[in-house]
Amino acid sequence: MKESKRNKLLNFIKKKGIVRAKEAEALGYPRVYLTRLLRQGFLQHPAHGLYSMADMEWTFDFQLAVTAALIPNGVIALLSALQYYQLGVEHSPKIWVAVRQKARVTKNTDLPLKIVYFSGKAFEDGIEIRNIKGVAVKIYNPAKTIADCFKFRNKIGLDTALEALRECRKRKLCTMDELWHYAKICRVSAVIRPYLESLQ
């Protein structure tokens, strides 16, 4: 590979953050170029078919971006969404991502993924798209995340859900109407009702 071509490819990857091998191939760079740059120490290979600059640190945001690139139809959820919005102090070592019921998810990654399966409106509603490290990351909004936390309270703990609810209301990240809306969708309105009423 000529140095000028190598530099163009590296500049593209640096600007993009995370690149799929197919994207590089579409620009005229065969996969062997990426493999060569990986061996030479210019790139890292965070997940199957994905490449980034070798000096890109494995921060929380970087893991979210890699997860979104690896599972484009997934949505960052529950504890990972709480961490993104800085709601509460519960930080999970895993990246929680929601996918449709019966969806197939790649296992070919070193990412510490926690997959949860949603269906219907519980999967479709409340999705926002944030640009993180150059990747369009789908993530549930704060109100939907709170409702999900109450739905999965046996997995993440009721205290975590309550702390997130109080912090969310304190910082005015959502309205009571939004919380009621998603509580109904997640079928936890009866569970969350007394806690919402205590905040009014």
Per-residue pLDDT tens for 99-142?
998 888 876 677 889 999 999 999 999 999 999 988 999 999 99
Domains 3-53 and 60-199 share a fold: no
| Cβ pair 177, 151 in contact under 8 A | no
Alpha-carbon distance of 147 to 165, in angstroms, equals 9
Q: Which residue has the higher pLDDT, 125 or 195?
A: 125
Domain extents in the chain: 3-53, 60-199
Alpha-carbon distance of 152 to 24, in angstroms, equals 40
CATH number of 3-53: 1.10.10
Span 62-111, pLDDT tens digits: 999 999 999 999 999 999 999 999 998 778 899 999 999 888 887 667 78
Q: What was the pLDDT predicted at 108?
A: 65
In the chain, the percentage of residues whose pLDDT exceeds 70 is 96
CATH number of 60-199: 3.30.460
Mean pLDDT for the chain overall: 91
